Amino acid sequence: MGASGFEITVNTVKMLLIFLLMVQLVPILVWVERRGSAFIQNRFGPNRVGPLGLTQLLADAVKFLFKEEFRPPKSEAFLFYAAPVLALIPGALAFGSIPLSAPFDLTWGGETFSFLFQSFDLGIGIVFVLAISSLGTYALLFAGWGSGNKYSMMGAVRASAQMISYELALGLSLVGILLIYGTFSFSEMIEAQKGPLSFMLMGKNVEIPFLPNWGIFYQPLGFILFFAATFAETNRSPFDLPEAEAELVAGYHTEYGGLKMLMFYIGEYGHMMVASALLATFYFGGWDLPFGSDWLKEAIGSSFLYSLVMHLVFMTKVLLFLWVFVWVRWTLPRFRYDQLMDLGWKTMLPWALFNTVVTAVVVVLFSSVGNS
Amino acid sequence: MSEVIVFYFFAAVTLLSGLRVISTSNPIMSALYLVGSMVGISGLFFLLNAPFIAAVQLMVYAGAVMVLFLFVVMIFDTKDDGKKGNSPGPLVGGLKALSIGGLAGIFLYVILFKISNFGYLSPDPSAPQFEVKNMAKLLFTDYMFSFEVLGLLLLVIPIGTVALSRIRGGTHAK
C-alpha cells in the first residue's frame, strides 16, 4: 500500500475511485444499449425521462431498490444470496489491475511520490486477469444451483461448458501477443507499442511513419480470435445461450429480481469493460496516443493533468469497443448449441494453435519488436 | 501486522472449508467448499510473494478442474447417494472416523516435526522481486528434464482417456 500516510491515503482513494468508475459506467452503458438497440431496430427507445432519456436509469435504480425481496422456497439460501455478490467480484478485481493511464507524481510535504493509474500492479498482469475471470463461472453456477429451478440449472451448466471451451481459445490467442512483447505486464506492453510502426525484417530496421506501432498489425489473427472469444466469455449475444429466453425462460437468473438481478447486470457489463480494456491494451496501444503524446506531455506540464488526459484517450478506446459489443448483440442472431461447440473446439482452437506456432517461428526468424 | 491478519484469514478459510468438504452430506456443497479451500491456498501463495503460482492455482484448480467437477456432479442425480454415504452403521462409521483421525494425526505430526526442525516459513524481505522470466529460465535450463517428463505424463492421460472411451462402444457400452 505504501510507506507513508499520504501514499496509503492516495492508494485507497484510487482503489475506491476505480471501482466506482466501473460501477458508474454501467447506467450509461445500459442507456447506450437500450438507445442503441432502438436505433438499430428503428425504434425510439427510452426518451421521456430527462434529456435524451439519460435519467431513465436513475428511475430504474429506484424501482430496483423498492422491489419485493423474494426467495424461492426450494432454493439454497446461502448460494442464492452469494451468487449476485460473486458476480461483481471478478470484473472489479480484473479491472483494477489494468493500467488506465500514465503514472503520475504528487508532491506532499516537500516529498514527491509516484503513483500508478491502476488499483494494484502484481507484475503478472494478464495471468492474474485470466485467473480471476475464470472464477466468474462460479457466480453462474451458484445462481443456477441455488435457485432450485431446472431452467436456472440448465442455464448454469451451459454457461460453464461454454466458458471452459472458449477459455482455451482465449488463452491460446494471447500467446502470440506474449511471444511478441515477451512480457506479462500491461505497462511494458503499452511501452512497447509507442511510436510509429517499426520492426526488424531480414536484419534491416523497417519503419512505416504513418502507422502506429500497435499490436493489431503484428497479431491480426490473434485479435480476431481474442475478440470472438471475449464475446463467449462475457455471455453476450451471439453467445448468450446461458440465458436463451426462448428455451430457458431467463437462464441462470430466472429466479432473481430487483437489486440482485441488477448486480448480475453490473457483473456482465464489468466483464465487457474488462474485455474492452484488454483489447485496447493488447492491440491498440493502451492509454498511449500513437502520435504526439510526447509533445502533449511537454505542453501540459503537470504529470497529473497529463495522466487525466491520457485516461480520456484510454476511455475513448474502451467505449468504442463497448459500442461494438452493443452493435453485435443487436445484429447477429444466437448460435445453436452444437454450432457454438463446433466454433469453439473445431475452428477457433486450431486457428489459435496455428497463430501460436506461426508467431513463434516468425519471432525466432526475424527477432522482431520487444524481443531484446 | 496486517500480513499476519490476512494470513490467519486465508489459513482459516482453507482449513475450515477443507473440513466442510468431508463433513457435509451434499456433494455439490462439498465441491463448492473445495473451491473455497483452493482460493484460500491461492491467497496464501500471494502472501508468500509468489503471484504467478497463486494465479495458476486459481486458473487451473479453481477455474477449470472444479468447474468440470461441479458440471458432472450437477448433472448426476445424487440425492439418494448422499443419504446412503453418510448414514453408516456403527462399525463402518467407527472405521471411517478412525482412518480420518489417523490421517489427521500423521499430518499433524509431520507439520509439528517440520516446525520444530526448520522454524516457521515466512517470506524473505531481502529476496528479489518475483519475475516470471527467471522462473521460465530455470524451467527450461536446470529443470528441463523433469519438465519434459511431466509433459509426457500429461500426454499419457488424454491418450488413456481416448483409448478407454473407444473400447467396446465407449461411454455408451451396455
Rounded CA-CA distance B47/B13 in Å is 14
In this complex, which of A123, A145, A153 lies closest to B51 when CB atoms are compared?
A123
CB contact under 8 A, B58 and A137: no
Structure-block grid coordinates of residue A350: 486450431
> CA of A57 to nearest chain B CA: how many angstroms apart?
34
CB contact under 8 A, A127 and B59: yes
- What pLDDT, on a 0 to 100 scale, did the predictor assign at position A249? 73
- What pLDDT, on a 0 to 100 scale, did the predictor assign at position A332? 84
> Rounded mean pLDDT of A237-249?
72
Other Cβ atoms closer than 10 A to A357: 12
> Rounded mean pLDDT of A32-57?
84
- How many C-alpha atoms does A35 have within 13 Å on its Cβ side? 18
Picking from A246, A236, A71, the residue whose alpha carbon sits closest to that of residue A143 is A71
- What pLDDT, on a 0 to 100 scale, did the predictor assign at position A370? 44
Q: Under 8 Å CB-to-CB from B92, ≥6 apart: which residues?
A: none
- What pLDDT, on a 0 to 100 scale, did the predictor assign at position B13? 92
Within chain A, what is the greatest distance between any pair of CA atoms? Answer: 71
Give the DSSP letter string of A45-74.
Answer: -S-SSSGGGTTHHHHHHHHHHTSPP---TT
What tens digit of pLDDT does each residue of A331-353 get?
Answer: 888 888 888 888 888 889 999 99
Residues of B in contact with A167 (CB under 8 A): 63-64
Residue B156 has pLDDT above 70, yes or no: yes
> Rounded mean pLDDT of B50-58?
85
> Rounded mean pLDDT of B4-15?
90
CB contact under 8 A, B63 and A167: yes
- What pLDDT, on a 0 to 100 scale, did the predictor assign at position A371? 43
SS3 state of residue A210: strand
Q: What is chain B's length?
A: 174
- What pLDDT, on a 0 to 100 scale, did the predictor assign at position B84? 54
- Count of A-B CB contacts under 8 Å: 66
> CA of B54 to nearest chain A CA: how many angstroms apart?
9
Q: Under 8 Å CB-to-CB from A11, ≥6 apart: which residues?
A: A1, A2, A115
Other Cβ atoms closer than 10 A to B133: 10
- What pLDDT, on a 0 to 100 scale, did the predictor assign at position B76? 72
Residue A109 has pLDDT above 80, yes or no: no
- What pLDDT, on a 0 to 100 scale, did the predictor assign at position A369? 47
> Rounded mean pLDDT of A314-336?
87
Residue B170 has pLDDT above 60, yes or no: no
Beta-strand (E) ranges in A136-295? 196-201, 204-212
Lowest mean pLDDT among A24-33, A102-111, A228-237, B26-35: A102-111
- What pLDDT, on a 0 to 100 scale, did the predictor assign at position A354? 92
Residue A250 has pLDDT above 80, yes or no: no
Residue A271 has pLDDT above 50, yes or no: yes
Q: Under 8 Å CB-to-CB from A324, ≥6 apart: which residues?
A: none
Residue A197 has pLDDT above 50, yes or no: yes
Residue A108: strand pairing partners: A111
> CA of A180 to nearest chain B CA: how many angstroms apart?
14
B39 vs A132, B68, B109, CA distance in Å? 10, 16, 25
- Confidence band, pLDDT 50/70/90 cuts, at residue A201: low
Distance of CA A314 to the CA centre of its chain: 13
> Rounded mean pLDDT of B98-111?
87
Whether the bond between A238 and the residue before it is cis, its omega within 30 degrees of 0, is: yes
Other Cβ atoms closer than 10 A to A181: 23
- How many C-alpha atoms does A98 have within 13 Å on its Cβ side? 33
Residue B123 has pLDDT above 70, yes or no: no
> Rounded mean pLDDT of A241-270?
78
Lowest mean pLDDT among A159-163, B102-106, B149-153: A159-163
Rounded CA-CA distance B31/B20 in Å is 10
> Rounded mean pLDDT of B76-105?
72
- What pLDDT, on a 0 to 100 scale, did the predictor assign at position B118? 63
Rounded CA-CA distance B75/B64 in Å is 17
Of A286 and A204, which is predicted with more confidence?
Answer: A286
Residue B174 has pLDDT above 60, yes or no: no
Question: Grid coordinates 502472501 are at which residue?
Answer: B47
> Rounded mean pLDDT of B37-64?
86
In this complex, which of A124, A157, A161 lies closest to B51 when CB atoms are compared?
A124
Residue A177 has pLDDT above 70, yes or no: yes
Picking from A239, A347, A268, A355, the residue whose alpha carbon sits closest to that of residue A88 is A268
A287 vs A118, A182, A279, A336, CA distance in Å? 12, 20, 12, 38
Q: Is the reported ipTM for this assembly greater than 0.95? A: no
> Rounded mean pLDDT of B41-63?
85
> What proportion of chain A, given as a percentage, has pLDDT over 90?
3
Query: Is the Cβ–Cβ distance between A214 and A181 less than 8 Å?
Result: no
What sign does the CA torsion over B23, B24, B27, B32 have?
A: negative
Rounded CA-CA distance A316/A24 in Å is 16
